Amino acid sequence: MTLRIVPSGATLGARVEDLDLSRPLSADAFEQLLQALGRHGVLSYPKQELNAAQLRDFSASFGRLEVNVAGAYQEPGMPEVMVLSNIVENGKPVGMSDAGQDWHTDMSYNKMIAFTNVLYGIRIPHRDGRPLGNTEFCNMHAAYEGLSDAWKKRLDGMTVLHDFDKFWEMMRRERGSTRPPLTPAQRAARPPVSHPLFLRHPITGRRVLYANPGYAVRINELSPKESDEALEFLFAHQTRPEFRYAHRWEIGDVLMWDNMGTIHNAIPDYRPDEPRLIKRCQVMATRFFHDDGTPREVARTELEAA
């Protein structure tokens, strides 16, 4: 069976039509989706009707699911499913907010990086006939290819340090934040990690720029001054308008994106009285990497063939 996958016409994004995600995927359908995700970066599946277990099972087709430490915002009895929401019931938040983090890619601060996020839109706020809380993306294949030969040559083979504390401190600076600094034990549990600055994408075989504003703090092979200047340039470069794509949410959408080939940003343009409810699974890149972050043999063979 050949799936109907309709490209958005933009730098990223495609819509998968007439596929019921509540049913198990065939091996052929899975392979088509895997290749499409690498090629298009962002896939949307409109008009889905899923329960949390079906969302979990579809997501788990792509790799090991992360269990988020924020247990209060998990689906009851299903720790792999995270609840994202601005809804408050009986004085308690229903879910965790996903707004306000700015451009980033999930889990780059981890040895085992994230592969894909899978989100299911249950309640989507609208105002004046348009959806709110849309999700923006930037294309990291295009960002790498758009670098000058001089930048590619200069930075080739270098690594970048990613640190969870950068995000945490940014959130502490938000107005009204009561977050304390990370404790020494929390810092020790999430130490900074390094990844290739130009990552070889395990599906496409092409290079991507893997340094995001949310977590990247230092290019290890440069002096601090040179690193700061290079990262400032790369952060501005990767978010150029021609690399951007925005998904306009509708109720029933399932949206998934490739964390290696994109960076993303949730737009916080809705008010507390405009309810939003999304359920999310995060798939780690276990299909392509060992737990220590080294590529699996199958991924390496595919890259050499590419």
Q: How many CB atoms lie within 10 A of CB 47?
A: 12
List the domain boundaries for the chain: 4-305
Please state the separation of Cα 116 from the chain's center in Å. 6
Per CATH, the architecture of 4-305 is what?
Answer: 4-Layer Sandwich (3.60)
- Binned average pLDDT, 10 residues per bin, the chain of 306 residues: 94 97 96 98 98 98 87 86 92 81 91 97 96 97 98 98 84 63 80 96 97 96 98 98 97 98 95 95 96 71 37
Return the residue matching tokens 């994408």.
Answer: 201
pLDDT number for residue 175: 53
Parallel, antiparallel or unpaired: strands 244-247 and 126-127: unpaired
Which residues contact residue 264 at a Cβ distance below 8 angstroms, ignoring those fewer than 6 apart? 103, 104, 105, 135, 136, 137, 138, 257
Contact 100, 171 (CB under 8 A): yes
Instruction: Determine contact, residues 211/101, Cβ cutoff 8 Å.
Output: no
Q: What is the pLDDT of residue 180?
A: 77
Q: What is the pLDDT of residue 291?
A: 87
Q: Looking at residue 100, what is its pLDDT?
A: 64
The answer to whether the beta carbons of residues 209 and 162 sit under 8 Å apart is no
Widest distance between CA atoms in the chain: 58
pLDDT of residue 187: 79
E-strand spans in the chain? 4-7, 14-17, 42-45, 74-75, 78-85, 88-89, 92-93, 114-123, 126-127, 130-131, 135-139, 159-162, 193-196, 198-200, 207-209, 216-219, 244-247, 254-258, 262-266, 277-284
